[in-house]
């Protein structure tokens, strides 16, 4: 599994391109802007996008979505709870050939030999999800290195977010954590040093 991180858009959103190195099939996670940069990486490396995954519906995670869908032909997936006004899945785009589809807790996708599983992790937004692939967690704005997502936007809830953080912390073993912004981390590191994870676990 090859994971490429591209910082895109006006807020430096992490767009991840996750590739099966044997087949060159890939998934694009959170195309938050700078679609030319994303598409150039795909074209230069002769990748075959099979799906576009949105961890949630905030604008900074989907500004490049339409262009990436147009150029790659890949469908996009989002949790229905985030398909709201101002999000990526407005009714007009949903009706555009059915290219934006729903996923939810337990949905799975095979991209070449890679298996993605959708974990519902609301709190930052009602439809936030974490994507689990092998030993990697793509956490969107649910979990950051040493922090977590804000909850003061529409539909946010710190109480719900803490439940989601505990769920991630309770996953057995260690995982690489790839958040929606800033640096990557590991789940073991976050269990030890992240105040919000410790609070969610009743340690702070």
**pLDDT, tens only, 73-121:** 999 999 988 876 555 555 456 556 678 899 999 999 999 999 999 999 9
Mean pLDDT score, 47-61:
94
> Residue 83 has what pLDDT?
78
> Residue 93 has what pLDDT?
62
> Residue 84 has what pLDDT?
67
Give the E-state strand segments of 9-142 in sequence order. 13-19, 25-29, 48-53, 76-78, 100-102, 108-111, 114-120, 129-133, 136-140
> Residue 59 has what pLDDT?
87
The CB density around residue 3, as the number of other CB atoms within 10 Å, is 15
Angle at 4 between CA 132 and CA 144, to 5 degrees: 55
**pLDDT top residue among 123 and 97:** 123
Phi, psi of 120 (to 5 degrees): -75, 120
**pLDDT, tens only, 144-202:** 999 999 999 888 999 999 999 999 999 999 999 999 999 999 999 999 999 999 999 99
Phi, psi of 164 (to 5 degrees): -65, -40
Mean pLDDT score, 17-25:
98
The residues pairing with 3 across neighbouring beta strands, listed in sequence order, are 18
> Residue 85 has what pLDDT?
56
């Amino acid at each position: 599994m090859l994971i490429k991180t591209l910082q895109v858009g006006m807020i430096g959103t992490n767009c991840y391109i996750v590739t099966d190195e044997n087949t060159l099939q890939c998934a694009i996670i959170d195309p938050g802007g700078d679609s030319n940069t994303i598409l150039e990486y795909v074209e230069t490396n002769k990748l075959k996008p099979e799906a576009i995954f949105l961890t949630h519906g905030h604008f900074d995670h989907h500004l490049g979505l339409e262009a990436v869908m147009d150029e790659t032909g890949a469908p996009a997936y989002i949790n229905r709870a985030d398909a709201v006004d101002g999000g990526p899945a407005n009714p007009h785009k949903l009706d555009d050939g059915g290219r934006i589809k729903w996923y939810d807790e337990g949905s799975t996708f095979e991209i070449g030999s890679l298996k993605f599983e959708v974990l519902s992790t609301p709190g930052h937004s009602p439809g936030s999800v974490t994507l689990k692939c092998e030993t990697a967690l793509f956490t969107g704005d649910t979990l950051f290195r040493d922090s977590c997502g804000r909850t003061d936007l529409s539909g946010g809830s710190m109480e719900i977010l803490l439940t989601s953080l505990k769920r991630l912390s309770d996953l057995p073993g260690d995982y690489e954590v790839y958040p929606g912004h800033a640096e990557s981390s590991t789940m073991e590191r976050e269990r030890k040093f992240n105040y919000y994870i410790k609070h969610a676990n009743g340690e702070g």
